[in-house]
Structure formats: C-alpha cells, structure tokens
C-alpha cells in the first residue's frame, strides 16, 4: 500500500509552492508528484535532474508525472516503475473537486489515500468563494478538506486573520484544522507524514529532532506565520478501545493535525492509525507482525492548542 495524499485548492493558492517545499524536504523519501499538467506546475529548476516520457526525474529519487486525461493509468504507470515511490502526492487541477479525485484514486487497491490537504490563499479565498462562476467550487473544496493550509497569511493583519479563522470555521467540515503558512512553509511531516522508522525505538532521537520543528518565521514578529508546531512520540497501552482514542485525536481542541502509529484493540487486532486533520483511518494489519515494542503514536500538533490530556497514552517523550 503506497500512502497517497491529495493536494487541492483553487488556482494561485500555493499548491505548487507547497510541492516544491515538500520536495526540498523529502528527507530521503521517494515521492511521486502527480500533476494535472507540467504547464501549471513549475518545479524549481534546481530540483529537476532530467525528463523522459512525460516523467520529470527529480533530486533524491523523486519524480513528477503528468496525469493527462487518465488519472488511474498515470498512477498505474508510476506504481509500475522500477523504483516505485514510497509516497504519492496528487496535485489536483485548481477546478477539481479533491474528494472526487480521492474516490477515483481509491479504485487502485495498491494505494492508501491518507487524506485531502487543501491550500488557500488567505487574501483571496473569501472573494473567490463568492465568485459567480467558481464560488460553489471553492466552497466545496473547503468542505472536502481534511486539513487546510491557510497560505499567504502574512498578507493579512491580525484582525483579518481572526476574522478569516471565524469564517473558515463556518465554511469547513467540523474539526478541520487550519494551519497558517507563508510561502506554504509547513513542517513537511504535516503533509508527507512520518517515515516508518520515526516510530522505531532505535530512531527515537530522530523523532526528538523533529519535535522542535518550527516554521521559519516570515513577516512581522508575532504573526501566526511563526506559529510553532510540536510533535510527540507517545507510547500506548498494550491494548485499548480505539473509540475514545479516535475521539480525542479528532477533538479540535486538542490541536492535533497529523498522527501515525500502531494500536492494538481489545480483541488483539493490530491497526495502522493515520490521521490527516479531521480524517482518521484505522487499517487492520493483515499480517500479524510482532510489535517492535509497545504500540506507538507520533503526533504533530499546533503548539498554541496542543494538549494530550484526553489521550489514553503514556508519553515517552516530551517536547
């Protein structure tokens, strides 16, 4: 199962900027970026190593592939490469509905669609949402987001930002986290997720180094562009009832925006847990691989909000 994320958002929101940022911080992950067409996406030139048959070879074993008119075919092609990707990012067209793209990508049994990340232009999103031609589309994109990246936040003053947050609270599905950003700079793990070894005990120091990840401040001091993110590696009880855990993770008040880990339910079944914003999925693990130590959960939260009081966990690390 190849983890796959859908990147949505209207034209000019900053999807391309985000993709470039993520590719720069791929940290060894082999990422395949699927784009509607090469024309719209301008991958930074220094990341491109070559081009061949509709595929751009990028630094670090990443590739960028054109979807054309056949999403499934393009995904099959990329999965069939001699070095298949570890992670797929599908950058949708600005006029696409990301949930429809996600539904179609789910037709491929080899993909695990982790969630939908929608990028917004903080300055124009409200105007766009009232546009007579594309307003309904923009509003639908907001509703379909599991996680919103509120980009170009430095263009808004504090009062405008507060106003925008209130407005987005009404326009989005309940529990959709809103992550402010400038130039789409967010912790890469927020979108890319964690590498499996981040959860291995041997790699705890790596997880620790992640914990103080901070978006590079851009703009005036004190604006939310310098919002801090925290992460924490949590150890879980040997067996637990998943429901309270899921509710706690999904509680907007907890400020948790991304999580990955393994849990064992009361019947002894192990599950992969993936959280992208308001979407949390449990995938039963079919092969009963013995747990490498106790079950773990690696979470990213918004520092201003993050709390884990309601999580049934034993913290193994503190930020």
Partner 1 sequence: MTTTLYSARKILTMNPSRPHATHVAVRDGRILGVGSLSELQGWGPSELDERFADKVIMPGFVEAHAHLMAGAMWRYTYCGYFDLRDPDGRVWPGCQSLEAVVSRLSEAARQQPEGPILGWGFDPIYFGTRRMSRADLDRVSDTRAVGMLHASFHILNVNSVALQGAQFLRPGMDHPGIPLAEDGLPTGELKGPDAMMPANPQVGLDRSLLSGDEFAIRAYGKLAVRAGVTTATDLAATLLDPELASLLRVTAESDYPLRIVPLLRLLGGTPAQTVARAVELGKQSTDQLRLGRIKVVADGSIQGFSARLRWPGYFNGAPNGLWYTAPEAIRECFTLALQHGLQVHTHTNGDEATELAIDCLAQALSAVPTRDHRFNLQHCQLADAAQFRRMKELDMCVNLFANHHFYWGDQHYATTVGPERAERMNACATAQRTGVPFTIHSDAPVTPLGPLFTAWCAVNRLTASGRVQGASERISVDAALQAITLGAAYTLKLDHEIGSIECGKRADFAVLVDDPTAVPAEQLKDVRIWGTVQGGRIFQAAGPV
Q: What residue ranges bind partner 1 (CB under 8 A)?
A: 11-12, 37-40, 66, 68-73, 76, 93-95, 97, 100, 103-104, 106-109, 133-134, 136-137
**Alpha-carbon distance 1 to 298, whole Å?**
20
Element (H, E) at 51: strand 48-52
Smallest gap from Cβ 38 to partner 1, in A, equals: 7
Smallest gap from Cβ 183 to partner 1, in A, equals: 21
Element (H, E) at 35: strand 31-35
**Alpha-carbon distance 242 to 80, whole Å?**
35
Smallest gap from Cβ 121 to partner 1, in A, equals: 13
Length, in residues, of the chain? 319
Q: What is the DSSP string of 131-169?
A: -TTTHHHHHHHHHH-SEEEEE-GGGS-HHHHHHHHHHHH
Smallest gap from Cβ 125 to partner 1, in A, equals: 15
Tokens for 257?
Answer: 């925006």
For partner 1, the closer CB: 222 or 284: 284
For partner 1, the closer CB: 37 or 49: 37
Tokens for 315?
Answer: 């913290």
For partner 1, the closer CB: 47 or 96: 96
For partner 1, the closer CB: 97 or 218: 97
Tokens for 245?
Answer: 């855990």
Tokens for 154?
Answer: 């430095």
For partner 1, the closer CB: 13 or 190: 13
Smallest gap from Cβ 95 to partner 1, in A, equals: 4
């Amino acid at each position: 199962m190849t983890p796959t994320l859908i990147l949505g958002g209207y034209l000019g929101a900053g999807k391309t900027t985000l993709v470039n940022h993520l590719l720069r911080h791929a940290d060894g992950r082999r990422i395949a970026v699927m784009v509607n067409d090469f024309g719209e996406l301008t991958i930074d030139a220094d990341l491109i190593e070559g081009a061949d048959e509709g595929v751009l070879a990028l630094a670090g074993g990443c590739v960028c592939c054109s979807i054309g008119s056949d999403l499934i075919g393009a995904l099959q092609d990329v999965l069939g490469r001699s070095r298949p990707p570890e992670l797929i990012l599908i950058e949708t067209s600005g006029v696409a509905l990301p949930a429809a793209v996600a539904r179609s990508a789910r037709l491929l049994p080899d993909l695990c669609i982790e969630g939908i990340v929608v990028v917004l232009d903080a300055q124009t999103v409200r105007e766009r949402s009232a546009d007579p031609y594309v307003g309904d589309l923009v509003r639908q994109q907001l509703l379909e987001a599991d996680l919103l990246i509120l980009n170009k936040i430095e263009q808004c003053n504090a009062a405008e930002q507060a106003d925008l947050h209130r407005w987005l609270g009404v326009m989005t599905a309940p529990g959709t986290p809103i992550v402010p950003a400038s130039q789409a700079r967010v912790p890469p793990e927020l979108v890319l997720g964690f590498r499996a070894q981040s959860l291995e005990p041997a790699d705890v120091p790596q997880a620790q180094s992640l914990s103080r990840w901070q978006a590079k401040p851009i703009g005036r001091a004190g604006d939310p562009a310098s919002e801090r993110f925290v992460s924490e590696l949590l150890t879980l009880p040997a067996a637990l009832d998943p429901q309270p855990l899921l509710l706690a993770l999904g509680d907007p008040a907890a400020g948790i925006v991304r999580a990955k880990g393994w849990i064992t339910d009361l019947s002894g079944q192990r599950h992969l847990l993936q959280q992208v914003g308001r979407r949390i999925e449990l995938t039963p693990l079919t092969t009963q691989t013995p747990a490498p130590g106790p079950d773990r959960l690696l979470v990213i939260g918004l520092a201003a909000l993050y709390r884990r009081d309601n999580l049934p966990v034993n913290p193994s690390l503190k930020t």
